[in-house]
Structure 1
Amino acid sequence: MEDTWLARAKRLLALAETGQHFTTDPFDRERYDEIAGMARAMLADLGRVPLSQIEMTMPAHTGGYATPSIDIRAAVIRNGGILLVRERSDGLWAMPGGFADIGSSPAENIEREVLEEAGLRVTAQTLYAVRHKARHPYPPDPRDFYKLFFLCSPLDAATPIPGPETSEAAFFAPDALPDLSRTRNLEKDIYAAFQANGKSPSPAKFD
């Protein structure tokens, strides 16, 4: 569960950004700008990182109502193993996925991510979990995310190959997982995929 002060700082920033978009009063805009700046400074203090790092990972809101970002992950299971890719950015392993791109459906997004990161053609079959990242033991994050986890079926028996953002791609048994990129996925995300695999479709677990 996310630290209470981190959750409050993120919520304060979201309220300020929403106010920046909807206000028509120049004095209110100045106040919202100041509140947004204070919230980013609080996030920097809580994360013990430079303010510039917060501003880089959380650029100024471009307009509209401030909402969580969407992260999607694919569980591709074959012969008792799950597909994981080694991220070039941190050298750790994760289910293929990333930010959802605007203009594509969730299924299109995740199928493309698997192809780009592991060279495998898959079809999205079942949404098995929707998690609010802040409610689970992922490392603290100044951004707010909903994480969507899909069971995907491979369309052929091709061997996985890494893509531009990954250095390796392979299948792993659930009792022999490599070091995971815990900002992207936890062991329980993978175990939940094995529990859902092969069963008749059931409602996704959600927060």
Structure 2
Amino acid sequence: MNDKWIDFAIRLQSIAQAGLQYGKDKYDIERYEEIRRIAAEMISAKTNISAEKVYNLFCNETGYQTPKVDTRAAVFVDGKILLVHENNGTWSLPGGWCDVDQSVASNTEKEVKEESGLTVKSERLIAVQDWRKHNVTNYAYGVIKIFVQCKYVCGEFEKNIETTEIGFFGKDEIPENLAVEKCTREQVLMCFEAYENPKMPTSFD
């Protein structure tokens, strides 16, 4: 989905959503609704997903459209980084969407606990990245990825519905089959660099 057609659809949907939020004239509201439908049809034409399903997923929010926030934890033990084994067979830094009742720090800790069973403490902000510049672009909305260095406190792997196991990997042991929409090899190496250089400033796009 990483092409201009999708970018155009995303921009049209964003304009339409803002118009529906702030528009007052009933005829303008109808036009914004039509723009929203066209944006969904553009996504549908590119993905072979039904326009109705795209509309339900892509056009289901109200208010001014903003990016979603994804937090990722970099947990190191003896110089190795924690990765979780997803149900689909890929590996990833533990993390996920930031819940509305959580801060960046607390959400990061919560996701680690849910996906690995480990209790950690958020200590340092490594990076704030625009997902489109670093990961596979397959969402029809913006994503801000936040990488947080965490200290291992206690615990061991606990069975859950999201992951099948955990592992600690050295810099030269990073698995090839990463879930690149969640974290790339470059992003994992960035976490190693931050761990090895405590004074490294937070990077951001």
**TM-score normalised according to structure 2 size:** 0.91
Which residue pairs with 2:172 in the alignment?
175
Alignment of 1:178-193 (within 5 A): 178=175, 179-193=177-191
Which residue pairs with 1:67 in the alignment?
66
**Unaligned segments of structure 1, at least 5 residues:** none
Cα deviation, 1:145-165, whole Å, max 9, x if unaligned, reads 011111111013x33334221
**Unaligned segments of structure 2, at least 5 residues:** none
Deviating beyond 6 angstroms after TM superposition, the runs of 4 or more aligned structure 1 residues are none
**TM-score normalised according to structure 1 size:** 0.90
Question: Which range moved further: 101-110 or 38-47?
Answer: 38-47
How far the C-alpha of 1:52 sits from its partner, in A, is: 4.0
**C-alpha RMSD of the superposition:** 1.9
How far the C-alpha of 1:102 sits from its partner, in A, is: 0.3
Which residue pairs with 2:4 in the alignment?
4
Question: Which range moved further: 195-204 or 140-149?
Answer: 195-204
Which residue pairs with 1:106 in the alignment?
104
Question: Which range moved further: 33-42 or 168-177?
Answer: 168-177
Contact 1:12 1:36 in 2 (8 A): yes
Q: 1:102 to 1:32 in 2, by over 3 A?
A: same
Contact 1:162 1:169 in 2 (8 A): no
How far the C-alpha of 1:45 sits from its partner, in A, is: 2.2
Which residue pairs with 1:160 in the alignment?
157
Contact 2:37 2:55 in 1 (8 A): no
The share of aligned pairs that are identical, in percent, is 33
Contact 2:95 2:111 in 1 (8 A): yes
